[in-house]
Structure 1
Amino acid sequence: MHSSLGRFVRLEIKTNVLKTSLIAVLGWGLIPIVFTLTPQSLAQAAMPTELWMPLLAIFCFGSLFLPEQTTGVAAVINSKSIQLWTVYAVRFAWYFGVLAVLNVTLLGLYQIQGTTLAAGVLLGNASVKSLFIGSITLGSYCCSQSLAVAYLIPTVYFALCIGSNQLGALNLLTLMRQRPLSDNWLQLGVAAFLMIISFLLARRRLVNS
């Protein structure tokens, strides 16, 4: 079973997620052009992780569902020993890992440039944002079964975070708006709830099918 899962993960990465990951890396490569690598404050240092990385997260996590849009592919996967909800879980974990590596690399560039801001705070905050926006994307698709909705809802939510102060602790721009770091705990809790509901819905649809 373990060897079978290992082969599946390697094939999945090579076939379905590697191209998206490489595009995300290219998108990340624009950060040094768009943002400064010598931030003078925590809020400024957080700008790439709160304004740019969520867009990459929406792109990555929305792509999580692309391979199954071809008619009959989902049914074929569900007929195998590894079910569709497991496929989604593997892709979700992979994309989260890719985004985490990109965030760590960004913080490494800050360090190289002599920035001495709190790296742990920045990394923890960035990781929560990736999980939060990813869970919204996952939940949107699992509730609607629509790829368009999976992209639309997190994008609209992200736009609301930028244009409104009314979201409070659920605003993605925690450090930029100088909100308490405790907001991340609520966002993490909501992300966990949405992910649990999403995977339960995916398993339920599998049973009903």
Structure 2
Amino acid sequence: MQASDIAALPIRFGAALRSRRLFHPSGVMAEGILERVAPEGDGLPMQSCDILARVSKGVGLPGAAPDVAGLAWRIPPPPDLRSCGPWDVLLASTLAGSRIALAPAASWTGATFSSLMPLRYHDRLWWVRARLASGVDGPGLSLAAIEEAIATTNVTFAVDQAPSTGGFRPLARLTLRHVDPSCDDIAFDPAMHSDPEVELAPRWLGDFRRSAYRRSRQGREAE
């Protein structure tokens, strides 16, 4: 057993106790569309496509209470690379201006979502962030409010990318259009599901995240 597997064991036990995800247990699944706005060849290879996405609360605090907000989406493989599997992108709310410091968000409109780890692509590091670009009525960080917004008016996020320590610039627009609770147990995993030319960096931390997600799935018997 590798050190990363041992370190991730408490996550398996925690997920087993809750019988669901240990982190981000409460969320809203939706179908949507990713529209690339960056020039072709500029930065990460995210292309326009239909996606599945999930907005969530990290601890699962009830109602509109502040919590670590989560945003995840799954990009299907291109037609010529079906054997490679999907690409999962996971973001979480951070302190304003920070790429790595997790922080609770008081509302969806005020949250800045970050990848927390850079993505290595063609020997260059890239960060991903997202911010809500449309309105969500209702108080605080309410899942019911954002679910209602997706169902009635759609919800759009502006997705940006930044090279290493450089500044952010637009990458894509992510629009959630249809709530789909039937697939809420999809196991998003950015370490296992990635573009064949993209990986989490540094590799040792990516290995820990891979083990952590696997232990969480085992704990709730999702695999």
Whether the TM-score (by the shorter chain) exceeds 0.5 is: no
Structure with the higher fraction of residues in helix conformation: 1
TM-score (structure 1 length as normaliser): 0.28
TM-score (structure 2 length as normaliser): 0.26
